[in-house]
Amino acid sequence: MAEPITPIRDSTQMFTEIVAVDHDLVLFRDGSVALVIATTAVNFGLLSEKEQDAIIYSYAGLLNSLSFPIQILIQTKHKDISAYLKLLEDQESRQTNPKLTRNIHSYRLFVASMVKEKDVLDKKFYIVIPFSSIELGVSSSLLFSPKKSGLPYEKSYIFDKAQLVLVPKRDHILRLLARVGLKATQLSSDALVNLFFSMYNPGSPAPDVTRLFPGKEPHE
């Protein structure tokens, strides 16, 4: 008789390299840290040739000015517009003006048909600035116990050290993005938790930050 299969009950958090999210930073198991910037995008195809050239030169200047590595992350999701279609339907039923009712009805059908024919995608753009554990220096615990696993230093020390290195780099990136005409901001701790949770748990509701990281107070 075959033995019953034991279901896997570990959470996704057990299979990621993330140890903690705090100080608007992500801490990984090896002691490295990452700062994430969310940025807007430019509809390049709608720009004139002169404007496109200006964007290209500005972007080239941004890359050439970097003295540290960055990672560009593009997150693509299928856009769910069912709530928007329901809103249009409600507005259509409430209208007393026949002309407005017809216009809303035609627009609602147009949006619905467009979604059926083409995939409506929601794209979000991020820039990740890494902080390597090598920048922390050699820990005495690892020097005398090279096989010891875990963080090389206390979390508070790692976060403080990472902030000193990453904040100037963040400010530099934000200034350069503003020159390109993009609005950018650093993700807060709560936004980082939601970002990673949505990546590993698509379609699930937003998590309780205090449940994922006990002892952490959610930001206002």
Domain count, the chain: 2
Q: pLDDT tens for residues 113-155? A: 877 666 667 788 999 999 998 888 765 555 445 555 578 888 9
Say what percent of the chain tops pLDDT 90. Answer: 28
pLDDT digits (tens, 9 = 90+) for 152-202: 888 999 999 999 999 999 999 999 898 888 899 999 999 998 888 888 777
pLDDT band at 85 (very low <50, low <70, confident <90, very high): confident
Residue 87 and residue 73 share a domain: no
Q: Which of 5, 7, 37 lies closest to 182 in space, CA to CA?
A: 37
- d(CA 48, CA 46) in angstroms, rounded, equals 7
Q: What's the confidence (pLDDT) of residue 220?
A: 41
Domain-embedded: residue 203: yes
Of 96, 119, 142, the domain-final residue: 119
Domain assignment present for residue 6? The answer is no
CB 72 within 8 A of CB 129: no
pTM for this entry = 0.70
Boundary (domain end) residue, out of 119, 145, 180: 119
Are residue 143 and residue 198 in the same domain, yes or no?
Answer: yes
Q: Over the stretch 201-210, which tens digit does the pLDDT of each residue have? A: 776 666 555 5
Whether 7 is covered by a domain: the verdict is no
CA–CA separation, 114 vs 157, rounded Å? Answer: 53
Range of the domain at 110: 80-119
Whether 47 contacts 55, CB under 8 Å: yes
d(CA 33, CA 21): 10
Tell whether 71 is covered by a domain.
yes
pLDDT at 100 over 60: yes
- On whether both 91 and 137 belong to a single domain, the answer is no
Residue 10, domain member (yes or no): no
pLDDT tens for 32-56 read: 999 999 998 888 878 889 988 988 8
103 and 27 in a single domain? The answer is: no
- Percentage of the chain modeled with pLDDT above 70: 76
| Domain shared by 141 and 202, yes or no | yes
Residues 194 and 164 in one domain: yes
State the average pLDDT over residues 15-19: 78
Helix residue spans in the chain (DSSP H): 49-64, 82-94, 98-117, 140-144, 155-180, 189-200, 209-212
Query: Do residues 100 and 166 share a domain?
Result: no
3 occurs within a structural domain: no
SS3 content of the chain, % helix, strand, coil (to 5): 50, 15, 35
* Boundary residue ending a domain (59, 90, 119): 119
Same domain, 94 and 200: no
Q: Is residue 29 in a domain?
A: yes
